[in-house]
């Protein structure tokens, strides 16, 4: 019988607590042992406040001494569910140097320091796994690493932030404002006390950086992702989108265009028939496309303590069963790909402009688009309350984002024309 695998768990909050309970419950312990032919034993749990009682966790294992817990020769694996980049980054480097494999759920750490961490793991001959950092329980990293290993992936796109998807879905269903939907999401536990990284797109951008790295075998970091969140979306954008036969989703996209990487996160209009358009509530879904394997989509819960812990345990099983480290940890086969600037991306755009309600405004708006060489496919014009203000909502024919931006800048710069900043969202097919 193989020796049990000793584990140090860094962090015992929402995710770490669920991992500790899964490794403690007899049924899940037995399932893990069956899956990998070896017992997995929790030997240290590192937290900030070791005096706090923690449900289902043996208090004798709990301490605030990361150094000792990482150096213990009785452990071979570190599970990191502490979050943040400091001191976590140092803990992971220490773990690698001590010859320990690591499984992490930390997307911000990976999206900022992934290349450094993978190199350090490679140098130490150990492995780093991070399924839970991308889409919680949705096994998209494994699908990209293994199922698509030979498939030459060209596109990964998805709804990768459950909080934003919950907010947009409830705005669409009830006509609620952004603030009302955010308040409901907080009340129901779908939004954190500080939801800024979820709603401003940073969380989704970190996940897209990770997915692009795995999908394209290229070092793609957070700084390579052009991102925007849902915090400027109005209820009427969703209503207009519906008139055009579309829904609004916060979409992350990593794409190879002429051998260059485009990575972006933006609220976008999706045609109602798009495979991601019907993903509602707090669910995540990712679509992977490759010329050889076609289009495949995966969906499920993108967060939650138990769901994320289940993905972490999946990584532990995969590590124990793998015969060697993966290509990313071997530092092999990284492609050095140029970036494709998001401003050069060509597509249709939905544009929303509030204008002064007087004769000739439509012609002036049209002329701003004309001088940027953008042609307009559809326009809806609505008078405003009291006849002071009117609203122009339009969808362009395909144009580069920088051309649409030029037209909007010209409109915004005419003080007698625009009321408030115009909004533009990509329309994705």
So which residues are the catalytic ones? 207
Going by their DSSP bridges, the two strands 5-10 and 77-80 should be labelled as parallel
Encoded tokens for 115: 């290349």
Q: Which is nearer to ligand NAP, 135 or 263 (CB)?
A: 135
Which residues make Cβ contacts (< 8 Å) with residue 189, sequence separation at least 6? none
Write each residue from 21 to 60 as x if it is in contact with ligand NAP (CB under 6 A), else as -, in one continuous string.
Answer: -------------------------xxxx--x--------
**Site residues (CB under 6 A) for ligand NAP, limited to 306-345:** 308
| Binds ligand NAP (CB under 6 A): choice among 4, 14, 72, 364 | 14
Going by their DSSP bridges, the two strands 399-400 and 389-396 should be labelled as unpaired
Q: Does 13 bind ligand NAP (CB under 6 A)?
A: yes
Q: What is the CA radius of gyration of the chain?
A: 24
Encoded tokens for 388: 């002071």
DSSP 261-291: EEEEEEEEEEETTSTTTT--TTEEEEEEEET
Q: Which is nearer to ligand NAP, 213 or 348 (CB)?
A: 213
Cα gap 282→285, rounded to integer Å: 10
Q: Which is nearer to ligand NAP, 12 or 317 (CB)?
A: 12
Cα gap 71→86, rounded to integer Å: 19
Contact of 32 with 315, CB cutoff 8 Å:
no
Q: Does 81 bind ligand NAP (CB under 6 A)?
A: yes
Contact of 196 with 227, CB cutoff 8 Å:
no
Give the angle 285-10-13 at the CA atoms, nearest 5°. Answer: 65
Q: Which is nearer to ligand NAP, 66 or 424 (CB)?
A: 66
Q: Does 136 bind ligand NAP (CB under 6 A)?
A: yes
Encoded tokens for 342: 């998001």
CB under 6 A: which stretch of 174-182, 221-229, 303-311, 336-344 binds ligand NAP?
A: 303-311
3-state secondary structure (DSSP) of residue 51: coil
CB under 6 A: which stretch of 78-86, 289-297, 335-343, 419-427 binds ligand NAP?
A: 78-86
End-to-end Cα separation, the chain, in angstroms = 54
**Site residues (CB under 6 A) for ligand NAP, limited to 391-410:** none
Q: Which is nearer to ligand NAP, 106 or 348 (CB)?
A: 106
Q: Which is nearer to ligand NAP, 79 or 428 (CB)?
A: 79
CB under 6 A: which stretch of 10-18, 123-131, 164-172, 250-258 binds ligand NAP?
A: 10-18
Q: Does 422 bind ligand NAP (CB under 6 A)?
A: no
Write each residue from 87 to 126 as x if it is in contact with ligand NAP (CB under 6 A), else as -, in one continuous string.
Answer: x-----------------xxx-------------------
Cα gap 164→200, rounded to integer Å: 9
Site residues for ligand NAP per CB under 6 A: 11-16, 46-49, 52, 64, 81-84, 87, 105-107, 132, 136, 303-305, 308
């Amino acid at each position: 019988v193989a020796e049990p695998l000793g584990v140090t768990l860094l962090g015992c909050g929402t995710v770490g607590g669920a991992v500790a309970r899964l490794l403690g419950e007899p049924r899940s312990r037995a399932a893990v042992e069956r899956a990998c032919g070896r017992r997995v034993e929790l030997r240290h749990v590192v937290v900030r406040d070791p005096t706090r009682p923690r449900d289902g966790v043996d208090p004798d294992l709990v301490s605030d001494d990361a150094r000792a817990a990482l150096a213990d020769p009785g452990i071979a694996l570190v599970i990191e569910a502490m979050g943040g980049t400091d001191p976590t980054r140092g803990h992971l480097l220490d773990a690698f140097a001590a010859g320990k494999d690591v499984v992490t759920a930390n997307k911000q750490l990976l999206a900022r320091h992934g290349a450094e961490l993978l190199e350090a793991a490679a140098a130490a001959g150990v492995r780093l796994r991070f399924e839970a950092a991308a889409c919680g329980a949705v096994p998209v990293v494994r699908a990209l690493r293994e199922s698509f290993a030979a498939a030459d992936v060209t596109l990964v796109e998805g709804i990768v932030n459950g909080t934003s998807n919950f907010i947009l879905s409830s705005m669409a269903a009830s006509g609620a404002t952004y603030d009302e939907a955010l308040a409901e999401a907080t009340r129901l536990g779908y939004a954190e006390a500080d939801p800024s990284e979820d709603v401003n797109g940073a969380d989704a951008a970190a996940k897209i950086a990770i997915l692009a790295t795995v999908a394209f075998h290229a070092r793609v970091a957070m700084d390579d992702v052009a991102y925007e969140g849902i915090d400027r979306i109005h209820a009427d954008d969703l209503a207009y989108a519906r008139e055009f036969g579309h829904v609004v989703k916060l979409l992350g996209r990593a794409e190879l265009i002429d051998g260059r990487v485009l990575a972006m996160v933006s609220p976008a209009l999706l045609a109602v028939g798009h495979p991601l358009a019907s993903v509602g509530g707090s669910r995540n879904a990712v679509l992977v496309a490759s010329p050889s394997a076609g289009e495949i989509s995966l969906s499920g819960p993108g967060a939650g303590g138990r769901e994320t812990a289940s993905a972490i345990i999946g990584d532990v099983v995969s590590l124990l069963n793998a015969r060697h480290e993966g290509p990313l940890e071997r530092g092999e086969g990284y492609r050095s790909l140029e970036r494709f600037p998001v401003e050069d991306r060509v597509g249709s755009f939905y544009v929303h402009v509030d204008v002064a309600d007087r004769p000739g405004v439509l012609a002036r708006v049209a002329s701003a688009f004309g001088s940027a060489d953008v042609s307009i496919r559809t326009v809806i014009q609505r008078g405003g309350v009291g006849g002071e203000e009117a609203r122009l909502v339009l969808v362009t024919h395909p144009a580069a984002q920088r051309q649409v931006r030029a037209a909007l800048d010209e409109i915004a710069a005419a003080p007698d024309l625009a009321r408030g900043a115009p909004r533009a969202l990509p329309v994705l097919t």
